[in-house]
Structure 1
Amino acid sequence: MNGAKVLNRLLQLFVLFNLILCVINISKHVNAYVLSAKRIENIQAICESKGIILKTQLPRAYTPKKAGTILVKEMSAEESNHLAKGILNSALGEMTISTEAHTQESSSLKGKKNRVYSKGNETLRFKGEDIIYTSHNKQKQYEKITVGQAQILCDGFIKRLSFSKTFNQGEREVKEKEGGIELTYYARFEHLPLFNSYLRFWVTDRGIEEAIIHVAQVDANKEVQTKKNIYPIDLVLFGIEEEIPIAFNKDNPIYITDISLGYYTLTTEGMRILAEEIIPTYKITIEGLKEPLFVNAYTNKSIK
């Protein structure tokens, strides 16, 4: 009996020892792809010497990543009706349903029309790959809208969507601007934000004034299982000045306000027709630029 207990104890110790070794090996592997504090200090100093001030934390991890595939599917009339009933919280018979011509005639939208649902001060417009909600409510609901109040409003809006789970478990980006708060909810792929699949809200003292819905579906059948190395953010920033389309110098610096590692398509044209590859991408937001810069993390080249 004692011998059996000793053997059992030895087996437990053996299993524990192997678990510890496994954790140590995993830790070594992960730490090999994490920027040190010294490297971060160095790139901050280099950027400042060029007139680039970093006002955000840098993504430190750069473990190998795999690519994927997405497809933005055009909604059928039945799907549009279902979504409109949820967002406008009304039966179809209580809405005004109409169509309108596209204001921008791209190759994919030529000859097609927007489907528009209206009720009272609210409008839902299906415009190409985007679904746009607008509210013309002029009544003030808050003395001064806070981020917390805006998040509650947006979370309530998302619950009315048939694909709410995609964004409830996603990444959230908050920007406080003059006149209101912009909240963007991103879907996730490989635990990172998918920049091509988002809900973007503009919230003011009058509540949600606008929501832009752009949903991309990940094609699990076309996922690339092989992981490839990506560039760390310090090497990306080392030559970033060549990609910035505005003048700056040490005496007249520019400010990088956000850097995120996520997934983005190499091209966006034709997304509704063909599946598009998504790759690891750095999204770099610069004060004074209307749109962020997107940098291919595999090649360290900007995505135009």
Structure 2
Amino acid sequence: MNSEELPICDNHAHANAVIGMGPRELARRFRREGGKFIVMVSLLTWSLGLNPGSMDDVRKLYDYTIEAARVINEEGIKSVAVVGLHPAEGFELIKRGWSLGDVEDFMRKAIDLAGKYVSEGKAVGIGEVGRPHWEVDERIMDFFNGIIKYALGVARDVDGVVHLHLERNGLATTQSIIGIAREVNIKPYRVIMHHAQPVSIDLAFNNGLMPSIPMGRRGEFEEAVKHGPRFLVESDFIDDPRRPGAVIPPWTLARKLRNYVSNGLINRDFLVSMCHDNILKVYGINIT
């Protein structure tokens, strides 16, 4: 790595060529700000004009995510794909009157397909899967915990990563995922707690999990650095012009990281540990 280069990463982002700028322009803007590596994660089916509850459209969703990562690589940014169904997909089917058994069967088939893509080398992981961050009754939460267990089991068998969508309930959320990961016996560093809270960092990291901190939540990255480089960083960009400002874009994340090194909030060694060493540990990818 050149002494002047900074290994800037974005651990979780989405691209939408249907209503947004798409992966090529995203990559160009990220590259101009010094970005080196970005993880492309599946959107919601309906974000791309696809139909929830259709396995054909799940395949199209996954293929779109993989193509987005390919395009970004073409633009000189290292990128990998993580494919799966967001818990909102399952919840939407429940709202439409599907039985829990039918939703479970559908979600498992979608996870199996994601696992197949990982085993074929098309994707590196499953996600984002998980449970609702909005209020649901205990029966629904238990249902989605079952989906998480299934996803972690498939990821374990294909040696893939998992991006987990979770509620933000601090240490209780973290302890819950530690328990599920142990029960499934997956390599814990392959389990990424997407959109994690700074308070979760030590408990998660000490138990082998990898918290991923959103850059766009005011003050949270600054709080996270107090725990040391024991986490990844993400934009969670959704590429939706109808929701400007909902999250920061990857190029703003890159600019912020460079500025944080310049102003001393973090130093270069911190950034190398966070964006190079942690990415190498979780994904087995050298981003430089």
Structure having the larger proportion of residues in helix: 2
As a proportion of its length, which structure holds more strand? 1
Q: Scaled by the length of structure 2, what TM-score is found?
A: 0.25
CA radius of gyration, larger in: 1
TM-score, length of structure 1 as denominator length: 0.24
